[in-house]
Chains A and B, each alone.
Chain A
Amino acid sequence: MIRARSETLRSEVVRKSVKPSPSIGGGSTSGQASHERPTRKVFDAVSEKRTFEAELHPALLTEEMVLEVDGFSLFYGAAQALWEISMGIPKGKVTALIGPSGCGKSTLLRSVNRMNDLIDTVRISGTMRLNGDAIYAPGVDVIELRKRIGMVFQKPNPFPMSIFENVIYSLRIDGERKKSVLEEVCEASLRGAGLWEEVKDRLHDSALRLSGGQQQRLCIARAIAAEPEVLLLDEPCSALDPIATGRIEDLIEELKGSYSILMVTHNMQQASRTSDYTAFMYLGRLVEYGPTEELFVQPRLSETEDYVTGRFG
């Protein structure tokens, strides 16, 4: 279902400026001169309260996109948190969102499965499409939409029930009753999350008895049990110790290919280790987006370089 780009969910949203979306491959200003490193343009945009045209690497052109974000803005009441973000998330790849605290990367992530709807004052404009279906459009059933998207939160949040029930939660609420199906999905998901060997003998114990890292992997198992079209990871390791973090990162590595993953992290090493693509955001604007290696080794913008080398943020 393709809808007009200007169509918004709520009529009261007034778009501040209607402008063509930046084409992938970078704008005319920065495409040819990666060595000049134009500086401070983002800071200018911030101080002038306007949008910023992101620096997009041409490598993205070759990818098939599972999720397309187009001119997406988000307001918390009067405050604008996202400024016309336009980007695509490649299918079967891991994409990391990095940026200093408050840059809107989690907000963007939560916009994908419309978790921001739960907040009263949020208004949005722009579009997002999941495999071509508009996410924000009148008549979209949010519940059905969320069934297509998996999400793992910052803090491990298993339900206070057994490991088995946790994993098959999405099937339960869909009314699946066949025990054979449930058991099969449970095992496959736990194996997928690398947790099967550890918990196969105590599937009916409370999930709360697992360690933090195990709980987070359980949450990943729960998310992939639903076979989502895109998997959202919201700083999945921030509440874990280094060893558990390492295991989660290995897991993300293994999931690559079978799942399209969009991951928020404030840990640049993690982004560089696990992701295929990295997007750098700053104060609600997408600054630069490209293959992880290019972004970390040869960033086109000086702000990006400053951030990835630890000079600010």
Chain B
Amino acid sequence: MVNARPRRVRTTRRSVKIAERIAQTLISIGGIGTIVAVSLIMVFLVWVVAPLVGGATTGPEARVSFPEQPGSLRAAESLESRERPLAGECVDAQVDEYRLLAWSVYTDGTFVVRRLDRGDELVRRALVPDGDPSGTSAIGAPSAIGVDVERGALGLGFADGSVRLGTVDFTAELLSGEGAARFEALAPGARETDGARVVERSEDGVLRAQTCRVAIGEPLDTGTTSAVVLIDQLETDAGRTLATWHADDSLALYRVVERENLMTGEITRKLESGRVSFARPDGFTPCRLLVSSGGSSTYLLSRDGRAARFDTRDPSAPALAELVDLLPETDAELTTARFLLGRTTLLVGDRRGGLGAYFVVKPDGATTRDGAHLVLAHELGREDEARGGSPAVVALATSQRTRLVAVAYADGAIHVFNVTSGKDLGELRVDGDIAALALAPKDDALIAFGAHGAHGAHGAHGASVWSFDPQHSEVTFAALFRPVWYEGYGGPEHVWQSSSGTDDFEPKLGLVPLVFGTLKATFYSLLFGVPIAILAALFSSEFLAPKVRVPIKSTVEIMAGLPSVVLGFLAAVIFAPFVQDVVPAVLASFATLPLALLAGAYAWQLLPQRLAVRLSDWRRFACIVAMLPVGVALAAWLGPHVESWLFAGDVKLWLSGERGSPFGGWMLLFTPLAALAVAISGSQFVTPWLRARSFGWGRAACARADLGRFAFNVLATFALAAALSGACAALGFDARGSFVDTFVQRNALVVGFVMGFAIIPIIYTIAEDALTSVPSHLRLASLAAGATPWQTAVHVILPTAASGLFSAVMVGLGRAVGETMIVLMATGNTPVMDWNMFSGFRTLSANIATELPEAVKNSTHYRTLFLAALLLFALTFAVNTAAEIVRQRFRRRAYQL
């Protein structure tokens, strides 16, 4: 009986379809999500970095006219005997950090405080009132005024040779309770004058009253009656240093030490003084006196551009250090000069519109008293300066927090430069002459004070105010990637030093040392890792039985999972100190280990054939495992001897260049090269000769000849290396200073070794895959032709897998470039640039890890670190892409076979 079973209808169940769709969606989301995530990281990096390339932003000009000119100024003009300051009547001016008030000091000793938004005068006084009750002659108009805008310090010199010191400062107080009641109606952002102060309600509703106070001390007797012509003072926490230039051509130095009596609160000032006469050369017309940071140098600038620098490290014994012509052109004329933040870099503006930044450097063999020379480090100029038609520099203002300088030109143009990077942040223009410039304390506004009658609305005296944001003026392409001449350095250099303990620090944002460090780490780790990994891959793919190969491969792959922080820890805490203890033995081991292994292999050939075949399974074990300790022991024994033969008994002192001849270092470098040369020439000439001779010899005779050849090669290697080293040493070349130099505990050798270990697993895995994927029929063809496994590996397997091996190395390189923890812990993180294998370095990645946590968000430093990250991203991306392209090519080629 046959059941007429209906034909089974095949349909896909609904649940299967749904599962299919869900899986497809999830996989798509996952895949696209990954791509989007990586792209977003890239976009984010670019987004953070992008503002670095932008210029400064400036708000619209706000014009303020000062209703009335200071009446006493007209009288001041009649004082003809006085050296008048260079740029107009206003000596200097400054605004407070909330931009409510501005003070100005005029040449006749008038001090004015104005409301910045309207120009109303709040205070006007003579700094030293007429008829001063103290009864000294230091009254009336001062003959010299020195202002330190940064610290708010004033110095006044008088015609009778006496000086007075003073301070000017802004005080802000927050109003509350009764004091605030009167200003109840004040809207946020609005201001109101209240006597000598200005009250503002800030945007968040706080009432703030801003006052400007000036205080002038008692006259100080300087022990001379010669009129003070120029004065400058330097205020430090220890007191003040005061310099005066007198009409009798003498420079006087005073250090004012202030002591406060704890019982009475009375302050006593004590003067330490010194004096030196200066025989002015012809045409030397002193116009500026400037005391540098720490009082170490005092500059007397002449109108014709010459500068007399006095060594004033000891104020009681000043002396002329050097006379320099800052403006060598014959018709040059110095118009203005000022210190940049930190009082080390001197900015000098001239009649032709040039602005030079000078500072002292201490070159070897300097002839001056203090071993220093004043040099021109940067030239800052307007774009049109090259054409020679640039108007004179009339006023300078320096920032109180960065290395910005605002420059006013005679044609009413104002430029702001960053002195370090030389970046021109753009141009502002006013009609008429500029008497003084000020950069607000937070670098958020730029104020130009006009000269009398020439500037401001209706021809009246006034000022122009711009809100201003310098953005990231420190960064230019050249500042990041080209050598820059930083303050105090002997010349332009690549330096990375992003922060320091002081506020007047010059940030040095050269990325080149970090890129160099990254490359150095990569170089040394590949030097260790690649040969080991590739040879290991070759060994396990070509010589190991498959039974053993699989577990070994997985073990090595597990090694890749070893956290790099553990490796870094081992490197820094255990390996580096160990290497430091046994440097000579480590150096010796580079020679003894290969020698021991090779000697083992040659010695094996001496075994009788029967024994050799019977023990063939133990051959590699005997050659490697047994000879390794021999090599190590040899190195340990040889270490001290090597140290005394080559390195004058102490390798660290030798490396520092303190003792010994250059011979040892050359031996170190030439031995591997000589080994290579001997091996190649040996296989070219000796081996064929030996082969021809040995025809018909017995096995033992061949083995002995081989061993003899090996011994000969070893001797030839050392002889060749010694000959080359001797030649180099005799010619006076010294390897120290290049690849070998001063020993530092955490050095490239240690990092190379440990990071080599970190990259070995990944290189090994990929290389092993590449080697095993070489079709086995090639291997068989070669073996069937009578090739040894090693010949097969070298002649057939390696060339076929070459691109795969290349890709493995590239992936390892990518890993080494991005590796952070090991280099962070084991390199010492000094961003130095040398190839010395015994010194540390700082990599891009370690730099980001160290500095990003302390970088202020959105600061230049922060964005530069992101730029470093972007660079790293680009570097690893390029390397990995190259590896992948080669791998694809390799795969195609492998399919062809």
- Which chain A residues have a beta carbon within 8 Å of chain B's beta carbons? 113, 115, 118, 120, 138-139, 143-144, 146-151, 153, 155, 157, 159-161, 169-170, 172-175, 177, 208, 219, 222-223, 226
Stretch at the interface among B33-41, B165-173, B318-326, B609-617: B609-617
B778 within 8 A of A: yes
With A139-B610, A208-B897 already in contact, the answer to whether A173 and B786 are too (CB < 8 A) is yes
Given the complex of chains A and B, what is the CA–CA distance between A19 and B795 in angstroms?
46
Interface residues of B in 465-511 (CB under 8 A from A): none
* Residues of B close to A174: CB separation below 8 A: 786
| In contact, A151 and B782 (Cβ under 8 angstroms) | no
| In contact, B781 and A146 (Cβ under 8 angstroms) | no
B687 within 8 A of A: yes
A45 to chain B, nearest CB (A): 32
A235 to chain B, nearest CB (A): 13
What number of A-B contacts does a CB cutoff of 8 Å give? Answer: 81
| In contact, A173 and B791 (Cβ under 8 angstroms) | yes
Interface residues of B in 772-798 (CB under 8 A from A): 775, 777-778, 780-788, 791, 795-796
| In contact, A160 and B781 (Cβ under 8 angstroms) | no
A175 to chain B, nearest CB (A): 6
Pick the residue among B609, B687, B688, B893 that contacts A160 (CB under 8 A). Answer: B893
With A169-B795, A208-B896 already in contact, the answer to whether A159 and B788 are too (CB < 8 A) is no
Given the complex of chains A and B, what is the CA–CA distance between A150 and B785 in angstroms?
6
Question: Can you spell out 18 A-B residue pairs with CB atoms less than 8 angstroms apart?
Answer: A113-B784, A115-B784, A139-B609, A139-B613, A151-B784, A155-B777, A157-B777, A159-B778, A159-B795, A159-B796, A159-B800, A160-B897, A169-B787, A169-B795, A172-B795, A173-B785, A173-B788, A208-B897
| In contact, B691 and A170 (Cβ under 8 angstroms) | no
Interface residues of B in 610-639 (CB under 8 A from A): 610, 613-614
Q: Which 5 A-B pairs have the closest CB atoms?
A: A147-B786, A151-B784, A157-B777, A146-B786, A173-B787
Pick the residue among B781, B783, B893 that contacts A159 (CB under 8 A). Answer: B781
| In contact, B800 and A219 (Cβ under 8 angstroms) | no
| In contact, A169 and B778 (Cβ under 8 angstroms) | no
Given the complex of chains A and B, what is the CA–CA distance between A201 and B791 in angstroms?
29
* Residues of B close to A172: CB separation below 8 A: 795
B872 to chain A, nearest CB (A): 37
Given the complex of chains A and B, what is the CA–CA distance between A147 and B777 in angstroms?
18
With A138-B613, A175-B691 already in contact, the answer to whether A157 and B786 are too (CB < 8 A) is no
* Residues of B close to A159: CB separation below 8 A: 778, 781-782, 795-796, 800
- Chain B residue with minimal CB distance to A147? B786
A161 to chain B, nearest CB (A): 7
- Chain B residue with minimal CB distance to A154? B777
With A157-B775, A157-B778, A159-B778 already in contact, the answer to whether A222 and B688 are too (CB < 8 A) is no
B545 within 8 A of A: yes
| In contact, B545 and A153 (Cβ under 8 angstroms) | no
With A157-B775, A175-B691 already in contact, the answer to whether A170 and B785 are too (CB < 8 A) is yes
Given the complex of chains A and B, what is the CA–CA distance between A177 and B791 in angstroms?
16
Given the complex of chains A and B, what is the CA–CA distance between A226 and B780 in angstroms?
16
A12 to chain B, nearest CB (A): 14
A135 to chain B, nearest CB (A): 14
| In contact, B777 and A146 (Cβ under 8 angstroms) | no
* Residues of B close to A149: CB separation below 8 A: 784
* Residues of B close to A226: CB separation below 8 A: 785-786
CB-defined interface of B876-897 with A at 8 Å, one 1/0 digit per residue? Answer: 0000000000000000010011
* Residues of B close to A208: CB separation below 8 A: 896-897
* Residues of A close to B784: CB separation below 8 A: 113, 115, 146, 149-151, 153
Pick the residue among B547, B775, B788, B795 that contacts A143 (CB under 8 A). Answer: B788
| In contact, B610 and A138 (Cβ under 8 angstroms) | yes
* Residues of B close to A144: CB separation below 8 A: 786
B30 within 8 A of A: no
> Which of A118, A144, A148 counts the most chain B CB atoms within 10 A?
A118
Given the complex of chains A and B, what is the CA–CA distance between A57 and B610 in angstroms?
40
| In contact, A222 and B785 (Cβ under 8 angstroms) | yes
B59 within 8 A of A: no
* Residues of A close to B777: CB separation below 8 A: 153, 155, 157
Given the complex of chains A and B, what is the CA–CA distance between A151 and B780 in angstroms?
10
Given A139-B613, A157-B781, 8 new contacts (CB under 8 A): A115-B780, A118-B780, A139-B609, A153-B784, A159-B782, A169-B787, A173-B786, A226-B786
